[in-house]
Amino acid sequence: MAEGIPAAEFVRFADVSVVFGRGAASVQALQAISLSFAKGDFVCIVGPSGCGKTTLMQTLAGFLRPSTGAVSVDGQPIAGPGPDRGVVFQQPALFPWRTVEANAGFGPEMRGIDPAQRRARVETWLARVGLTEFRHRYPYELSGGMQQRLAIVRALVNEPVLLLMDEPFGALDALTREKMQEELHAVWRTSGMTVLFITHSVEEAVYLGTEVVVMSPRPGRIIERIAAPFARKEGDRDIRAIKSSPAFVAMRERILGLIWGMAEG
């Protein structure tokens, strides 16, 4: 942590608004978003389609500058994309002409990390997500779930301080999705990484998040922040048992109620 930066402000969106376009055709995507969280938090964002979730993430990734307000990490204003922030998009954006291994090693290669260290990192992460035996294959030879795992590996090999994920499991079948949730949870628990995670699934948000942030319809504002205890739960991590426990169901239903309430105006 940089000196003088409060722990709870490791990531800080300060009064962030985003307006696309000009004049009558302009669209206000975000309105005065103020949100801070600590290193090691796993923050899940839920909210109706078009409420500005991706826009918010893009300001932190450094792909988009806020119209007003500021975004900072560890006290440093975001000036553009950087290897400290790994980004995983909803559709895996892989290089079709590169093998699994070469896709995974892209970031370290671009940064000039020496080949031996690069290979070691790639091997470690491919093994962790069960892709070792496919390392010489090409993306078209992988299933959708495997491609998504590779996209996650490609972000993780850079050992980012922050992992930004936009609906990363949206296209997966229910079983693969839960397996990926378990894998991601294990990576987060062992690495101490900070995660910002967008999802349309309230259940996924309550399971993975240390906090669930609910956004309003456009222009996106923060309606409520709910601390979730399940991600830090120790001991038996049976995903089905956690998701069917009364405390889990109650929190899931409360958040769904908030979202339904907004839809009904």
- The contact set with ligand ATP (CB under 6 A) reads 20-21, 27, 29, 49-55, 218
- The pair of structure tokens assigned to 18 is 């985003």
User: Rounded to an integer, what distance in angstroms lies between the CA atom of residue 242 and that of residue 132?
Assistant: 30
Contacted entry of ligand ATP, Mg ion, none for residue 218, CB cut-off 5 to 8 Å set by kind: ligand ATP
Contacted entry of Mg ion, ligand ATP, none for residue 81, CB cut-off 5 to 8 Å set by kind: none
Contacted entry of Mg ion, ligand ATP, none for residue 51, CB cut-off 5 to 8 Å set by kind: ligand ATP
User: Rounded to an integer, what distance in angstroms lies between the CA atom of residue 13 and that of residue 65?
Assistant: 12
CB of 176 to ligand ATP, least distance (A): 21
**89 vs 57, 104, 220, CA distance in Å?**
11, 15, 20
CB of 28 to ligand ATP, least distance (A): 8
Residue appearing with tokens 């995660």: 195
Answer for which of 10, 35, 52, 54 binds Mg ion (CB under 5 A) is 54
Single-letter code of the amino acid located at 21:
G
CB of 54 to ligand ATP, least distance (A): 3
Q: Output 101 or 166, the one with its CB closest to Mg ion.
A: 166
Task: Report CA Rg, the chain.
Answer: 19
Angle at 33 between CA 232 and CA 64, to 5 degrees: 100
Q: Does the protein bind Mg ion through residue 59 (CB under 5 A)?
A: no
Q: Output 56 or 146, the one with its CB closest to Mg ion.
A: 56
User: Rounded to an integer, what distance in angstroms lies between the CA atom of residue 105 and that of residue 126?
Assistant: 10
Task: Enumerate binding residues for Mg ion (CB under 5 A).
Answer: 54
